[in-house]
Amino acid sequence: MHRIVTLALSSALLIAGSISVSLAEPPGAGAAAPDFELKDQNGQLHSIEDYRGRWVVLYFYPKDDTPGCTTEACEFRDNVFAFKDLDCQILGVSLDDEASHREFAEKYGLPFPLLADTTGMAATAYGVKSNIVGMTVAKRQTFLIDPDGNVARHYAKVDPDTHSKQVLADLQALQAE
């Protein structure tokens, strides 16, 4: 009975929009990175398998052209050549559509794919799909994926101002091992 009451209360709070609920657990370090097939801002399809043999920064973010998301994207943009020098592809993912991603990428000169996860399937597979204040979004989390297609690092807490540099430093350390 207690479990039913707890579930009912959680559902009521979710509907009211006062809590955030993640729908799955993110894959941890060493786990295979879930594959997907998503279009970018230019209509090109991308999957994790496309990048086998390379490092991938797969960063999820809530919404195009919002303050924290813009800061994070521009930080990755500003470090894109350092990531390229380490043979690492940056992929941004949100639940926004291709047109929104295209406007966002053009406005800020983002030189990497922004993937449109409009169904939320990739966000669900990575455990970052969330309901916040009545909206379904991807949580701001990042996965550093190794050339074998496994999660090397999962960043559950992200500071948009410093995150790109943190991931870059971790990538350099992992490649030096």
| Strands (DSSP E) found in 2-140 | 21-22, 38-39, 45-46, 55-60, 88-94, 114-116, 129-132, 135-138
The number of angstroms, rounded, from the C-alpha of 169 to the middle of its chain's C-alpha atoms is 18
CB atoms under 10 Å from CB of 152, counted, come to 18
69 a catalytic residue: yes
Q: How much of the chain is in helix, strand and coil states, percent to nearest 5?
A: 40, 25, 40
Query: Which one of 33, 38, 69, 95 is the catalytic residue?
Result: 69
3-state secondary structure of 172: helix
Q: Is 37 in contact with 165 (CB distance < 8 Å)?
A: no
Supply the residues annotated as catalytic: 69
